[in-house]
């Protein structure tokens, strides 16, 4: 998992470099593929600076609080169904609890603490301003995202992640097509919740010189970095599960395409997740940044009403059909 995150960083640097007609990292290994290892070594051996006036305990704890929720969310994400490998039944997920979606929402929301505490503990103005921005942003967009998840729950009739994929199989349609509005809101909300461009205000380098982790260095900074990318992967894999049919092959009910079934489910899953991540990077390379008030306006005046309307319509359709 953490290895995936570090290579995600390389992927980002490469993709954005290509978009910007650059080469990106080239020095470490062929085409820079070993760059993540160099990065990790560098970050681990760097001096860990704690500002004198900082609150030591909270300052140390904040990066961990940011990273841990991002990692434990993976417990409920299904990479594939139960498959048999050499005659043994292996489930490609850690656990399947019947409140899976709510679990993801609630655990992910703990991550806000990491950000706000980092800003507070640094005892510095820019980080504080950034962390207040970040937590307000995360809380606002969480509402919209949770509302879309409600409409997904209504469509699928279950909160279990496995159940949602199976529901998509039975209804014969990826929810991307059945719930385009929810998809859109989730995508925008996901960008905002992971603090990615164009909603990367909390770390807006040009305004706040780096945001809530301005005062961090070395491994503690690396933990924040890992948390951000881990969150991206979480958002992408949840989106894959909810909207792109998880491990299902494209058009799972059309017999003519059954030859696609020879590719195992987990490869489909990873492929779809990768497409999501790629879109994240693409958006980052293309769009300017929103301003704080515009961000809030978009969240509260556009996305949340839209999400609520979507829930109502979904429920009505569900009852009528």
Partner 1 sequence: MAEAIIFYTLAALILAFAVMVVTVRNTLYSALLLAADFLLVALLYASMNNLLLAVIQVMVYAAGIVLVYVFVVILVNLKRPPEQQPDRGRYRPIGTILAAAVLGELILITATGALRPAPAGGAEAVGSVENIAMELFTNYLIPFEVASMLLLVAMVGAIVLAKKEL
Partner 2 sequence: MATIDNQFDTNELVINMGPQHPSTHGVLRVVLRLDGERVIGCDVVIGYLHRGIEKLCESRDWTQIVLLTDRMDYVAAATNNVGYCQTVEKLMSIEVPRRARYLRTVMCELQRIASHCLWLGTHAMDIGAMTVFLYAFRERELILDLFEEYCGARLTYNSMRIGGLPLDIPPGWDKKVLAFCDIMQTKLTEYEELLTHNRIWLERTKGIGVIPAEEAIAIGLSGPALRGSGVKRDIRKDEPYAAYDEVEFDVPTGKACDTYDRYLVRIEEFRQSLRIIRQAIEGLPEGPIVGKVPRLIKPPAGETYHAIESPKGEIGYFIVADGKSTSPYRFRVRPPSFCNLQALPRLIKGHLVADVVALIGSIDIVLGEVDRGSTRSSFPS
Q: Which of 286, 309, 316, 317 binds partner 2 (CB under 8 A)?
A: 286
Residue 56 binds which one of partner 1, partner 2, none, with CB within 5 to 8 A depending on kind?
Answer: none
In the numeric block, which tokens belong to residue 84? 């048999």
Q: Is 112 in the site for partner 1 (CB under 8 A)?
A: yes
Residue 22 binds which one of partner 2, partner 1, none, with CB within 5 to 8 A depending on kind?
Answer: partner 2
Residue 103 binds which one of partner 2, partner 1, none, with CB within 5 to 8 A depending on kind?
Answer: partner 1
Q: Is 200 in the site for partner 2 (CB under 8 A)?
A: yes
Q: Which of 7, 31, 74, 113 binds partner 1 (CB under 8 A)?
A: 113
Run of H or E residues at 129: helix 125-156
- Rounded to whole angstroms, the Cα distance separating 47 from 44 reads 8
Q: Is 123 in the site for partner 2 (CB under 8 A)?
A: no
Q: Is 45 in the site for partner 2 (CB under 8 A)?
A: no
The 287-306 site mask, x for binding partner 2 (CB under 8 A), equals xxxxxxxx------------
Q: Computed from CA positions of residues 250, 251, 253, 257, in that sequence, does the dihedral angle turn out positive or negative? A: negative
Q: Which of 22, 56, 301, 318 binds partner 2 (CB under 8 A)?
A: 22
Q: Interacting stretch for partner 1, rule CB under 8 A, among 2-10, 102-110, 226-234, 245-253?
A: 102-110
Omega prior to 60 cis, within 30 of 0: no
Q: Which of 33, 38, 58, 315 binds partner 1 (CB under 8 A)?
A: 58
Residue from 218, 216, 238 nearest 153 by CA = 238
- Rounded to whole angstroms, the Cα distance separating 285 from 292 reads 20
Maximum pairwise Cα distance, the chain:
67
- Rounded to whole angstroms, the Cα distance separating 234 from 239 reads 8
- List all residues 6 or more positions away from 256 whose beta carbon is below 8 Å from its beta carbon: none
In eight-state DSSP terms, residue 54 is S
Q: Interface residues with partner 1 (CB under 8 A)?
A: 55, 57-58, 97-99, 102-103, 105-107, 109-110, 112-113, 116-117, 120, 128, 132, 135, 139, 159
């Amino acid at each position: 998992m953490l290895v995936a995150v570090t290579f995600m960083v390389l992927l980002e640097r490469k993709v954005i470099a290509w978009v910007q007609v650059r080469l990106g990292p080239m020095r470490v290994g062929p085409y820079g593929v070993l760059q993540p290892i160099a990065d990790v070594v560098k970050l681990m051996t760097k001096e860990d600076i704690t500002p004198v006036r900082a609150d030591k305990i909270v300052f140390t704890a904040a990066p961990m609080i940011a990273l841990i929720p991002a990692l434990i969310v993976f417990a409920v994400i299904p990479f594939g169904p139960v498959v048999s490998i050499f005659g043994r039944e292996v489930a490609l997920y850690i656990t399947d609890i019947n409140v899976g979606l709510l679990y993801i929402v609630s655990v992910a929301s703990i991550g806000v603490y990491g950000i706000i505490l980092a800003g507070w503990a640094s005892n510095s103005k820019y980080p504080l301003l950034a962390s207040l921005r970040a937590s307000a942003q995360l809380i606002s967009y969480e509402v919209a995202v949770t509302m879309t998840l409600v409409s997904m729950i209504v469509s699928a009739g279950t909160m279990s992640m496995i159940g949602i994929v199976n529901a998509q199989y039975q209804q014969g349609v990826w929810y991307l097509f059945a719930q385009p509005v929810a998809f859109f809101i989730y995508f925008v909300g996901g960008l905002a919740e992971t603090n990615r461009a164009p909603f990367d205000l909390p770390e807006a380098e040009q305004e706040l010189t780096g945001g809530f982790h301005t005062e961090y260095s070395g491994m503690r900074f690396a933990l924040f970095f890992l948390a951000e990318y881990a969150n991206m992967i979480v958002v992408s894999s949840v989106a894959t599960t909810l909207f792109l049919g998880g491990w299902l092959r494209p058009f799972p009910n059309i017999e003519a395409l059954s030859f696609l079934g020879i590719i195992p489910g987990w490869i489909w899953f990873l492929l779809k997740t990768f497409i999501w991540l790629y879109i994240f990077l693409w958006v980052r390379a293309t769009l300017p940044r929103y301003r704080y008030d515009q961000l809030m306006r978009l969240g509260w005046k556009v996305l949340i009403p839209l999400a609520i309307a979507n829930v109502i319509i979904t429920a009505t359709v569900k009852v009528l059909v």
